[in-house]
Structure 1
Amino acid sequence: MNTTVLISGGGIAGPVLAHWLSRRGFEPTVVERASAPRPGGQAVDVRGVALDVMERTGLLDRARGLRTRMRGMSVLDPQGNEVHRSTESTFSSGRLDSDDIEVLREDLVRMAYEHTRADVEYLFGDSLTGLDEDETGVRADFAHGPSRRFDLVVGADGLHSTVRRLAFGPEEGFSHHLGSYLSVFGTENFLALEDWQMWLQGDGVGFGIMPVRDSTELRVAFGFESGSLAPGLRTADALRRTVVEKLATVGWEGARLAEAARTAPDFYCDAMAQIRMDRWSRGRVTLLGDAGYCPSPLSGQGTSLALVGAYVLADCLERHGGDHGTAFARYEERMRPFVDLNQALATENPGGPASEESVARAKNAIALDA
């Protein structure tokens, strides 16, 4: 019987891992809390060695066809006066002449799902409530479906990973707040932007506005400085109210952006935080992507870490067939230097992007064929 692997999380890391496990003779099952692949989210970068993973997975050509194609950006002061412009790079994607690509997260999620759904079992609309491991496997308990046994479990379920909590303990022991929150939401293109980004930095707040979908929509990324908020202020409704209130105080287009945040169906807001752990595996359970080593959106490398981690984990499991302990140890050994360099990008230049040299070094700091 083939090794069965439960993967919690149907975003990017989970389906890509499922693809490579299926190709290597494993039997992956992906459980996802949402009822379908999640829409919304910011544009994400795929850089360096992660492009090789995309190509090997069979997704790169399609991703290139869906990449954002910006002409440049303007940087504004709080009153809306342009203080800088560039036709060479943008804050979101770096140099425009780079081979790296920027893709809407929802497009990448949909691609990964469609590429794998014929060969992978998906359980949408469900989530894990318990893990009980013994010497032969792991019993997984679900919120809605019946309990099932698997040989291995992988948590690819993001910053607030359920698998991490069940296997390693409360999030507070691993999450490191980086002093700000980020909100992302969509709205109509009321600025008539055409492949041109607008960025504004005010007192403790800032935002970037990007046209998407052939410039028919805007995707807004709004950040504000704050220590870790109290639990009652971290609910979805409370965070939306906070974002609306803060946007309303911004001089340039603040009122319209505040109204867009108030009504956006795809509104998202969360802390800028990193997950730092001494180990990513325990017994038959391991963590992948943001669940184990979230670098935060400030690094621009979360998606690339997820893609590379998925490939390396599948490779290690195949090379050490049946010996999950050795495979997990090798996965961590290969990935940790890569993770450390990419997490460092988020803190290298507080309030701004990391240097081009640091990004170039970090994005290629691993060999896929070790």
Structure 2
Amino acid sequence: MTRSVLISGGGIAGPSLAYWLGRSGYAVTVVEQAPALRSSGGSPVDFRGDQMDLLARMGIDDEIKAHQTGMGDQIVVDRTGRRVSTLPSALLSGEVEIERSDLARILYDRSKGVAEYRFDDAVTALAETPDGVEVAFARSPARRFDLVVGTDGPHSGVRRLAFGEETFFRHDLGLYVAGFRIPNDFGIVHGGVVYNEPGKFVMVNSGRDTTTALVTMIFASADRDDHRHSVEDQKRLIAGHFTGAGWRVPALLAALQDTPDLYFDSISQIRLARWSTGRIALVGDSAWCPGPGGSATGLAMLGAYTLAGELALAADNHVEAYQRYERVMREKAATSQRTAAWTVGTFLTPGTERGIRIRNALMRVASTRPLIAAFEWSSRRGGARTGTLTGYPLAGTHQPLPAPHAR
């Protein structure tokens, strides 16, 4: 009998899990609250080390390389625009970097043949029964599924319904991030510029689409409710934190007022004692959410691969599979969280002028040829923090698809 799985979240972890489970014969449904896939843009994500093996197993490594940003070094400047150091591309961009929207489309294209997608809908209620989970939706009729997996990000609706309110599990790092696109008036081609003041970080870079530039602004704030404000409130808040800053920040703040696609959120981690309850499990940012610098995308895809693999090994005993999945992924997620907390809190946004000077001095040393080679070696060998992939009995991309299952 074919088992049915509902995956809530159509970003990265969801389609990855849909791919592996769908190819293994599960009846997979993916529900996504957005009306459609985002067609362009998105912050860049990178892969390195053993994550490259995972891309190859999915058969998407060549397509990702064909759409890579080609991002080079990031130039660090002072308030006058004078170059003071360099962040090597091997440190920030891994072995291959791709915009999130391009990756999401690739994963969707790979999985849509073995999964049913429902956009513009969301899970509104979960009720577990002895033989499944009764799921209510915002727009669709209620349905029963054998298993439910939440891959719907740090503000996961599935986690809220099955585990409790977000405030119980959210650990704020005391920082907020804003991202928006502007016309590329900086002349940046496959590179970027970084500017810091104490507790503030600004980066402008341009990758595959050199006609536009992505602006990222990070700042320290103790207000846990900043991300709940309206978009106009968020813009005023960002401007308030960066008013008076040097370099070309005033022009960026002017462009911020006109942007139609502002992303704004707290930089927070999700910490749960367990990632499953009954027939319901969590994968990716809904389960652990490391934050910037924690290889979150690769880790989410690894989590999807691991959960699908453990279900295959456990012969569909979901209780055993969920437990084994957690044992495999728990330390990897904890390491990723520690790395992200240091990266964003110490390396990207030093809290003092002295900290900025020390970071810049270290980067000047790191930009020498021997250390760049060391960064590249570390990126290939250990930078992914995922470890060697387990050889699960999963139908890979070069194996035939299972017989179509009834919807």
- Whether the TM-score (by the shorter chain) exceeds 0.5 is yes
Return the letter of the residue paired with 1:9.
G
For 1:235 and 1:307, locate their aligned partners in 2 and report how far apart those are by CA, in whole Å.
32
Cα distance per residue 1:50-97 (max 9 Å; x no partner):
2222111121111011112133221012332221135x4366325xxx
| Within-5 A mapping of 1:272-311 | 272-299=267-294, 301-311=295-305
For 2:154 and 2:121, locate their aligned partners in 1 and report how far apart those are by CA, in whole Å.
18
Residue identity over aligned pairs, in percent, reads 38
Paired residue for 2:369? Answer: none
RMSD, aligned α-carbons: 2.2
1:83 counterpart = 2:84: yes
Paired residue for 1:21? Answer: 21
SS in 2 for 1:313: helix
Structure 1 residues 247 and 202, CA gap change in structure 2 (3 angstroms) = same
Q: Note the C-alpha offset of 1:324.
A: 0.6
SS in 2 for 1:197: strand
Q: Which moved more, 1:310-319 or 1:113-122?
A: 113-122
Return the letter of the residue paired with 1:132.
A
Paired residue for 1:342? Answer: 336
Q: Is the 8 A contact 1:73 1:89 kept in 2?
A: yes
Q: Note the C-alpha offset of 1:124.
A: 0.2
* Aligned match for 1:141, one of 114, 136, 140: 136
For 2:382 and 2:255, locate their aligned partners in 1 and report how far apart those are by CA, in whole Å.
36
1:319 counterpart = 2:313: yes
SS in 1 for 2:53: helix
Paired residue for 2:2? Answer: 2
Q: Is the 8 A contact 2:226 2:234 kept in 1?
A: no
Return the letter of the residue paired with 2:3.
T
Paired residue for 2:57? Answer: 56
For 1:90 and 1:327, locate their aligned partners in 2 and report how far apart those are by CA, in whole Å.
36
Q: Which moved more, 1:309-318 or 1:195-204?
A: 195-204
Cα distance per residue 1:104-150 (max 9 Å; x no partner):
11110111112222221011001111000011100111111111110
1:173 counterpart = 2:168: yes
RCO (CA 8 Å, sep 6+): is it higher in 1 or 2?
2
Q: Is the 8 A contact 1:129 1:141 kept in 2?
A: yes
For 1:149 and 1:240, locate their aligned partners in 2 and report how far apart those are by CA, in whole Å.
42
Q: Is the 8 A contact 1:338 1:362 kept in 2?
A: no
Q: Note the C-alpha offset of 1:296.
A: 0.7
Using structure 1 for the length normalisation, give the TM-score: 0.92
Q: Note the C-alpha offset of 1:361.
A: 5.7
Q: Is the 8 A contact 2:47 2:384 kept in 1?
A: no
1:182 counterpart = 2:166: no
Q: Is the 8 A contact 1:177 1:228 kept in 2?
A: no
Q: Is the 8 A contact 1:41 1:104 kept in 2?
A: yes
Structure 1 residues 265 and 147, CA gap change in structure 2 (3 angstroms) = same
For 2:331 and 2:383, locate their aligned partners in 1 and report how far apart those are by CA, in whole Å.
12
Q: Note the C-alpha offset of 1:263.
A: 2.0
Return the letter of the residue paired with 1:369.
G
* Aligned match for 2:200, one of 205, 211, 219: 205
For 2:388 and 2:255, locate their aligned partners in 1 and report how far apart those are by CA, in whole Å.
41
Paired residue for 1:244? Answer: 239
Q: Note the C-alpha offset of 1:248.
A: 4.2
For 1:327 and 1:283, locate their aligned partners in 2 and report how far apart those are by CA, in whole Å.
12
SS in 1 for 2:153: coil
Cα distance per residue 1:275-326 (max 9 Å; x no partner):
1111100000000000001101142x11011110010111111111221101
SS in 1 for 2:261: coil
For 1:71 and 1:232, locate their aligned partners in 2 and report how far apart those are by CA, in whole Å.
31
Q: Note the C-alpha offset of 1:210.
A: 0.9
Structure 2: gaps spanning 5 or more residues: 349-358, 360-365, 367-374, 393-407
For 1:284 and 1:54, locate their aligned partners in 2 and report how far apart those are by CA, in whole Å.
28
Q: Note the C-alpha offset of 1:26.
A: 0.6
Q: Which moved more, 1:345-354 or 1:287-296?
A: 345-354
SS in 1 for 2:281: strand
Paired residue for 1:32? Answer: 32
For 1:57 and 1:154, locate their aligned partners in 2 and report how far apart those are by CA, in whole Å.
20
Q: Note the C-alpha offset of 1:269.
A: 0.8
1:363 counterpart = 2:385: yes
Q: Is the 8 A contact 1:181 1:269 kept in 2?
A: yes
Larger radius of gyration: 2
Paired residue for 1:97? Answer: none
Return the letter of the residue paired with 1:243.
I
Q: Note the C-alpha offset of 1:178.
A: 0.6
Structure 1: gaps spanning 5 or more residues: 95-99
